[in-house]
Structure formats: structure tokens, C-alpha cells
Amino acid sequence: MTQTLLLTDPLFLRHDPGPEHPERPERLARILDVLESEPISGTERRIPRPATEEEIAAVHTPRLREYLRGLRGRHEAIDPDTLTSPDSYDAAVLAAGASVQAVEEVLAGRARNAFALVRPPGHHAEPDRAMGFCLFNNMAIAAEAARRQGAERVLILDWDVHHGNGTQAAFWTRRDVLYMSVHQYPYYPQTGAPFEVGEGPGAGYTINCGVPGGATDADYGAFYQDLFLPVAQAYEPDLVLVSAGFDAHRKDPIGGMVLTERGFAAMCTALGDIAESACGGRLVLLLEGGYSLEGLSQSVHACVEVMAGETKDSFPEGVSREAAAALQRSREALRPYWSVLGR
């Protein structure tokens, strides 16, 4: 069994939204350079496969699939944020496939955990809409694949600084996929309020912790210890998936948080511990945002060190007044659904 599988491909570098766009090829190139120059034992890098039409269709509508297919080979502005180049469609199909393959390898026991280092990112893409730098929703496609492969309960934790509106929309009425997100709020895409908890059978299975800018590693520690981890333990997932965006890093030019790479490593440690206790360590990370080349690459490296068993990190103590208030709002919204949060 491979300890930590890394899935990536040179095609991801050919998705090029333009020289001034923050989601630029250099993001992934710097990650790969750091992993090459500071190798981590126990990791194995492989080339992924593209997603099938059926795998993408499990999440996205025929209209969106046809529209995006028509952009193949073209420069196009889907919206002011979401731009394509001639190779973008093929890169998006491969990113979705890498995400599915990461799940397949971990569920089959061929890898203990996996990190799909992909572009373009996916968590803003809704079933019928590409947006926010995202074409297909890699995370939702991967979670659906996990369900088809027998995972009865899938946990998604989204730590990108932006709320994953697309992933939330995909599972809004379901309880077989528990979606958790910590994000800057209010901020793009203006979703992810604490009262957004799902509906129908899915009521209580969407968990949002929206936080003002300026949150620290210690603040995130409080969110995990007092909200995410108790609910995750009660849920007993068969697989833990992470929308791993690194734009909450203190050096990020877009986000407003002040996390360090050690904070990301502490989050990865905490989720690895949940996976270890609930599902034999089955943990998959998918790359989302992160626009400081240094902050992104060092944070990815820190998380891979945790996944490969080289290090474990813990959160520092303390929580700010603003973060404590945000945490309390989320706990109050979720208490009717989760007894571990009190009554």
C-alpha cells in the first residue's frame, strides 16, 4: 500500500486564464517544485485518468456539460472571474478524474491517503453553472463516486477561504454526504451563513462557520475542537474528503485570514485523526484555491508531511472574540440536529 498518493499531470499547467489572473499555472508549478526539492518519504506521484462522462453527469446537468465541451480549444470568458484557454476543458475533465481516482485508490486500499494536485479548482461550480475560477466540481464528483463505490457516509470539510457554494448545492437535501465549511464571511460568493444547514432529509447535514477576516490558527483550532470534530465523530464517516484551499494563509493576496502553514498542518492532523478512528485512515485532499506562491506551496508541503506520517501538528490555544461569536452562531444553528453540540 502506498502511504500518500499524489496525483497530478502537466496538462494542469496548460489551463491558463491569463497573465493577470490569480489562478495561474505557477501555483501548481511552485507546489511541484517544492515537493521535488524537499522530498517526503512515503509519497508516490502518478499521472491520473480523465473523468468519464457518467462520472461528471452524476453532478452536472446536460446543459452545463454541453456548454463547457463547446469551449474546448477556445479562449472564453464564462464570467469576469472564470476564463478558459484552449486546454482548459481537457484539464477540467482530468482534474475531475484525478479526484475520482484518488477516492478509488484509497477506498480500494491501494493508498492509505491521497492528494489530487489539480487545476482548475472546483468547489464553486454548481450543478448547472461554472463560476469562481471553477468549471466542474471536482469534490462533488469525487463524493458521488465514493457513494457509488460503497461509502455510505462521506464527510467533506472545506477549509478554503471562500465558501464552497457549489458543493453545498450538490448535497443540500442529502445526509449521505455531510458538508462542513469554514470560510471568510461575508465574502465571495456571499453564501455560507450559519443558518444554511440543508433542508428536507439533509437538514443539519450542511455546517457553515462563516468568520470575519483576521482569524488565526488558534481561532481555527476552536472551530475544529468545538464544532467540526464533535460532529464528525458522531457522523462516523466511511471516507473523509477535504476541499484543500490555502487562500486563508496570512500571505495570500485575496483572502483576509492570517493562518500559517502550521495551521493547515494542524487541520490536516485533526482530520487525519478522525479518518483514523472512523474509517481506517481513508483521507483524500483535493486542491482548491491559494494564491500566494510561497504560502500555498509551503502549506501543501506541510499537509503532505502530515499525510505521509512525518509530522503531526496541533493548534495553538486561544480564540478571538469575533471568532468565538461566529462559532457560537454556528453551534446554535446546528444544535437541533446534533446532540453532541448540547441542547
Catalytic residues: 124
37: Cβ contacts below 8 Å, ≥ 6 apart: none
Distance CA 327, CA 329 (A): 5
15: Cβ contacts below 8 Å, ≥ 6 apart: 25, 84, 85, 87, 88, 91, 92, 119, 120
Instruction: Identify the CA nearest to 286 among candidates 171, 122, 148.
Output: 122
Instruction: Identify the CA nearest to 177 among candidates 199, 159, 154.
Output: 154
Question: Which DSSP symbol is given to 176?
Answer: S
Tally of helices (H runs) and strands (E runs) in the chain:
11, 10
Instruction: Identify the CA nearest to 161 among candidates 292, 329, 21.
Output: 292
- Angstrom CA distances, 7 to 45, 97, 111, 116, stand at 6, 10, 12, 5
Distance CA 340, CA 343 (A): 9
- HEC string of 137-175? CHHHHHHHHHHHCCCCCEEEEECCCCCCHHHHHHCCCCC
| Cell numbers at 277, concatenated | 478512528
Burial class (CB in 10 A: 0-12, 13-18, 19+), 211: buried
